């Protein structure tokens, strides 16, 4: 189906200059244009012209026929004629342009909003993610004029970085396209685990000796005869599964001691401020591996099925395909994975 004009075929004011028109001339502009005379005064003819919307490119003769003054018949001067000719050029409008625009793109909303015009036209809409010479097609199907919301098809995105979204509409023998700048890095299918800072009250076990330091004026001050519940010491300081931080009953917030003592286990520092390596910790923050490509303060990560979280901490064990989510749940045990399966993970800029 060809695109159809909607804004052509209107009336345009026209003035013809000359002499001897009389006040009631007849104007003929050929097969594709019609001139309606509004008034004439002998040297000017004022009227409107309308052109056939389907007119081709053509040259047409315009003929003015005078009917004399007052319509009483043309009284020719010697050598004069009642008619005069001129030539006008008509430029065919042809098919109007089909247009495509990308109004927005959002991974968290899983939506690319595309507007196609004009209405009533249909063709193949293709939406791609672009980075340099690399493209990934997220959608390709028939769509008509109007506004369309297209899914990124997130679970099937390939790993890689993309900086633009491109929409192309093959319609009416045309191929208009539009580019929208939208920067994402698809990290891939990641495992999503959780970590926390347990509270000693939630841990079992008898009081056990633990080496606890406080830092006072850059000096290490050991707390004599310190004890904490065995389950709490284990959950916080055990190198295989310890969280590295916790809320103790008697020593404020505690963390692994890494300055005062070479003794690996169990040594702790008391009265610390629990925070991540790049910012505060909350239910909206995650820890990532330094090689993840997202190890920057407040880098935004979209996790399919979860939403957007901010990077504020470092996860040494996460490697290439794991992200650790902080939770304010202060349980001592039972903090399992956030999701039962791996989920698509995307850095958004």
| Residue 320 backbone phi and psi in degrees, to 5 | -90, -10
Contact status: 126 vs other proteins (CB under 8 A): no
Single residue of 234, 248, 270, 309 touching other proteins by CB under 8 A: 234
Contact status: 243 vs other proteins (CB under 8 A): yes
**Taking CA 147 as the corner, what is the angle to CA 141 and CA 152, rounded to the nearest 5 degrees?**
55
Single residue of 212, 313, 323, 344 touching other proteins by CB under 8 A: 313
- Helices marked H in 122-278: 230-237
Chain-centroid distance, C-alpha 235: 43
Buried/exposed 222-261: b ≥16 CB within 10 Å, e otherwise? ebeebebbbbbbbbbbeeeebbbbbbbeebebbbbbeebe
Cis peptide, bond prior to residue 266, ω within 30 of zero: yes
For other proteins (CB under 8 A), the number of binding residues is 55
Single residue of 73, 76, 108, 239 touching other proteins by CB under 8 A: 239
CB-based burial of residue 116 (10 Å sphere; 0-12 exposed, 13-18 middle, 19+ buried)?
buried
Among the candidate windows 4-12, 16-24, 219-227, 287-295, which touches other proteins by CB under 8 A? 287-295
Among the candidate windows 25-33, 107-115, 126-134, 147-155, which touches other proteins by CB under 8 A? 126-134
The overall longest dimension of the chain from CA atoms, in Å, is 133
Contact status: 242 vs other proteins (CB under 8 A): yes
Among the candidate windows 8-16, 33-41, 95-103, 318-326, which touches other proteins by CB under 8 A? 318-326
116 to 102, 119, 165, 171: CA distances (angstroms): 9, 8, 15, 10
Residue 330 Cβ, how far from other proteins at the closest point, in Å?
A: 13
Among the candidate windows 55-63, 67-75, 174-182, 279-287, which touches other proteins by CB under 8 A? 279-287
Integer-rounded Cα radius of gyration of the chain: 39
Cβ atoms of 231 and 238 within 8 Å: the answer is: no
Residue number, 148 or 325, with CB nearest to other proteins: 325
Site for other proteins in 181-220 (CB under 8 A): 195, 197, 208-209
Residue number, 85 or 159, with CB nearest to other proteins: 159
Contacts with other proteins, residue ranges (CB under 8 A) = 131-134, 161, 195, 197, 208-209, 233-234, 238-245, 255-256, 258-259, 262, 264-266, 272-279, 281, 287, 290-291, 293, 295-297, 311, 313-317, 319-320, 324, 326, 333-334
């Amino acid at each position: 189906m060809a695109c159809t004009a909607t804004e052509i075929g209107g009336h345009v004011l026209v003035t013809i200059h000359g002499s001897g028109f009389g006040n009631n001339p007849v104007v003929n502009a050929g097969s594709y244009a019609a001139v309606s005379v509004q008034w004439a005064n002998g040297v000017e003819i004022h009227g409107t012209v309308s052109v056939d919307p389907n007119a081709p490119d053509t040259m047409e003769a315009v003929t003015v026929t005078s009917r004399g003054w007052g319509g009483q018949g043309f009284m020719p001067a010697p050598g004069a004629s009642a008619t005069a000719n001129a030539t006008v050029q008509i430029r065919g409008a042809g098919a109007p342009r089909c247009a495509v625009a990308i109004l927005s793109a959002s991974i968290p909303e899983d939506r690319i909003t595309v507007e196609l015009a004009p209405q009533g036209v249909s063709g193949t809409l293709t939406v791609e993610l672009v980075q340099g010479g690399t493209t990934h097609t997220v959608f390709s199907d028939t769509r008509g004029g109007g506004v369309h919301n297209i899914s990124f098809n997130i679970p099937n995105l390939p790993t890689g970085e993309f900086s633009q979204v491109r929409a192309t509409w093959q319609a009416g023998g045309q191929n208009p396209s539009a580019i929208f700048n939208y920067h994402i890095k698809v990290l891939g299918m990641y495992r999503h685990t959780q970590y926390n800072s347990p509270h000693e009250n939630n841990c079992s076990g008898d009081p056990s000796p633990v080496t606890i330091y406080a830092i006072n004026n850059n000096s290490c001050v050991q707390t004599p005869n310190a004890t904490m519940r065995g389950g709490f010491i284990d959950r916080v300081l055990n190198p295989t599964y310890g969280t590295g931080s916790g809320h103790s009953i008697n020593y404020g917030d505690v963390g692994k001691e890494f300055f005062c003592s070479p003794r690996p286990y169990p040594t702790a520092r008391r009265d610390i401020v629990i925070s991540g390596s790049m910012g505060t910790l909350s239910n909206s923050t995650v820890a990532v591996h330094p090689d993840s490509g997202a190890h920057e303060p407040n880098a935004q990560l979209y996790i399919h099925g979860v939403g957007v979280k901010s990077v504020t901490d470092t996860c040494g064990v996460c490697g290439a395909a794991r992200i650790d989510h902080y939770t304010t749940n202060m349980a001592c045990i039972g903090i399992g994975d956030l999701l039962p399966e791996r989920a698509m993970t995307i850095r958004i800029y």
